[in-house]
A and B are shown apart, each in its own frame.
Chain A
């Protein structure tokens, strides 16, 4: 192999594609469809993740204080809470305010509370979680820490809901991995067979090349170029279609999404690279597998 042979090998790879355009067209279409399924899933996953995280970060936590708490302890708790990284104190609700709000929410039935001789409601701090980049909010841990403080009666947050969300996301992720794995295997099979077909269609030529003393690599490289090009082409096409689809859908359905106060975003750059990289890599690996069978093909050619 000399470097100067590269243009010749590249041309051979391109010629292979042109000469076997129908096979390649079918191969590329199938690959694009597979990458589209994968990409669509990724878009949904990424958006779902952002939405759910949005919901997660809008979670609030209530820290209920004991009735007989000292001013000192109350201030201690306040200081402690304001120093927590993910947490912001939304407001302090005194016993009186709590009762007033309860009355207001009961509206016409507020006279039900008239029989109370004393205020049974505790004072509380209402907290909201802020999302810090790349950091998972761990409400359980925060809760445990707050509970250790003196004067804290109880801490409540919508624990169940968050846990369920995480289970859902994990399931979605798992399904995504399985689908992606199956699709990759499918694509690999397609590329391998496409290249195998072109190898067979050039059987005669390979035989003659062996006769005049071509090395194995010289014969293999055009097929590797062919498969890799198929992968690159499919990757670019899939991304283009995915983006057009996104533009189309987001412009039409923006109304509904905006109503739900949700952003529908396209894939972040690293995912775009991922799709392109996977597609290219599968093209290369597929053709590598196909040419790897040269050993047996060689016997078959008997040259």
Chain B
């Protein structure tokens, strides 16, 4: 990727689109600190990612949520445990963890499924668990990489509605997708990538 320059303000809802291999995933990984840019800077919430220590990055990630096409849930843990994990690692108290996890699961409409195991759920439900995990920390930024890639159109709508609700709470959202279904929904901003460059912005 080169010559990428953009600024997302707090509370924006941005679509990132373009053909496969355009660099959507790479851009998200750069923002998430999984990859370091060979040149240039990425500044998140006032922190420069190219000069950050491993530990600081870990702490910064607690303010970001990441959602994947393949959900990345732990099959041997229950829905509750999967969501609670993001709080366990912060060393929150048991009571706080229970409260926040319930809240988050209610938000995605899965309050009654907390004892279920991910593999017993449908694809849409699994993605909602993943979203619950991503938002349980009240993140500043929510990154989603093809969140509806494995889901049919009906479920896609459901997921996008969820994003809107999260967005309404003030979270900045960045969704990488080439789903037409998703792109038809109104967004504040759409960035189109091709061959590692920003082609258009609207």
B86 contact set on A, CB distance < 8 A: 212-213
A210 contact set on B, CB distance < 8 A: 58, 61
Convert A188-224 into 0s and 1s, putting 1 for each residue whose CB lies closer than 8 angstroms to a CB of B.
0000000000000000110111111111101000000
A19 contact set on B, CB distance < 8 A: 76
A204 touches B34 (CB 8 A): no
A216 touches B91 (CB 8 A): no
What are some 28 contacts across the A-B interface (CB < 8 A)? A1-B91, A2-B91, A4-B93, A5-B88, A19-B76, A204-B72, A204-B74, A205-B74, A207-B72, A208-B72, A208-B85, A209-B89, A211-B66, A212-B61, A212-B62, A212-B86, A212-B89, A212-B133, A213-B61, A213-B64, A213-B86, A213-B90, A215-B58, A216-B54, A216-B55, A302-B34, A302-B35, A303-B34
Q: Apart from A208-B74, A211-B66, A213-B58, what are 20 other A-B pairs with CB-CB below 8 Å? A: A5-B91, A19-B76, A204-B72, A205-B74, A207-B72, A209-B89, A210-B61, A212-B62, A212-B85, A212-B86, A212-B133, A213-B59, A213-B61, A213-B86, A214-B58, A214-B89, A215-B58, A215-B89, A218-B89, A302-B35
Is the C-beta of B60 less than 8 angstroms from some C-beta in chain A?
A: yes
Give the contacts of B39-92 with A (CB-CB under 8 A).
54-55, 58-62, 64, 66, 72-74, 76, 85-86, 88-91
Is the C-beta of A300 less than 8 angstroms from some C-beta in chain B?
A: no
Residue ID in chain B nearest A208 by CB atoms? B72
How far, in whole Å, are A211 and B136 apart by their CA atoms in the complex? 14
Is the C-beta of A8 less than 8 angstroms from some C-beta in chain B?
A: yes
Residue ID in chain B nearest A215 by CB atoms? B58
A302 contact set on B, CB distance < 8 A: 34-35
B72 contact set on A, CB distance < 8 A: 204, 207-208, 211
Interface centre among B60, B64, B74, B137 (most CB of A within 10 A): B74
Convert A1-27 into 0s and 1s, putting 1 for each residue whose CB lies closer than 8 angstroms to a CB of B.
110110010000000000100000000
How far, in whole Å, are A204 and B75 apart by their CA atoms in the complex? 10
Q: Identify which of B73, B74, B89 contacts A213 (C-beta below 8 A).
A: B89
A209, chain B: closest CB distance, angstroms: 6
- Footprint of A on B, CB under 8 Å? 34-35, 54-55, 58-62, 64, 66, 72-74, 76, 85-86, 88-91, 93, 133, 137
How far, in whole Å, are A215 and B93 apart by their CA atoms in the complex? 18
Residue ID in chain A nearest B55 by CB atoms? A215
Interface centre among A209, A212, A218 (most CB of B within 10 A): A212
How far, in whole Å, are A19 and B66 apart by their CA atoms in the complex? 28
B185, chain A: closest CB distance, angstroms: 26
| Contacts A212-B61, A212-B86, A213-B62 given; does A4 touch B34 at CB 8 Å | no
How far, in whole Å, are A302 and B64 apart by their CA atoms in the complex? 17
How far, in whole Å, are A132 and B114 apart by their CA atoms in the complex? 72
B58 touches A216 (CB 8 A): yes
Interface centre among B35, B55, B59, B85 (most CB of A within 10 A): B85
Residue ID in chain B nearest A295 by CB atoms? B54
How far, in whole Å, are A216 and B89 apart by their CA atoms in the complex? 11
How far, in whole Å, are A302 and B35 apart by their CA atoms in the complex? 8
Residue ID in chain B nearest A15 by CB atoms? B76
A216 contact set on B, CB distance < 8 A: 54-55, 58
Residue ID in chain B nearest A8 by CB atoms? B88
How far, in whole Å, are A211 and B70 apart by their CA atoms in the complex? 14
B116, chain A: closest CB distance, angstroms: 18
A208 contact set on B, CB distance < 8 A: 72-74, 85
B91 contact set on A, CB distance < 8 A: 1-2, 4-5
Residue ID in chain B nearest A216 by CB atoms? B54
A4 contact set on B, CB distance < 8 A: 91, 93
B59 contact set on A, CB distance < 8 A: 213, 215
Interface centre among A205, A210, A211, A214 (most CB of B within 10 A): A211
How far, in whole Å, are A70 and B88 apart by their CA atoms in the complex? 93
Closest 5 CB pairs of A and B: A213-B61, A2-B91, A213-B62, A214-B89, A212-B86
B93 contact set on A, CB distance < 8 A: 4
A13, chain B: closest CB distance, angstroms: 14
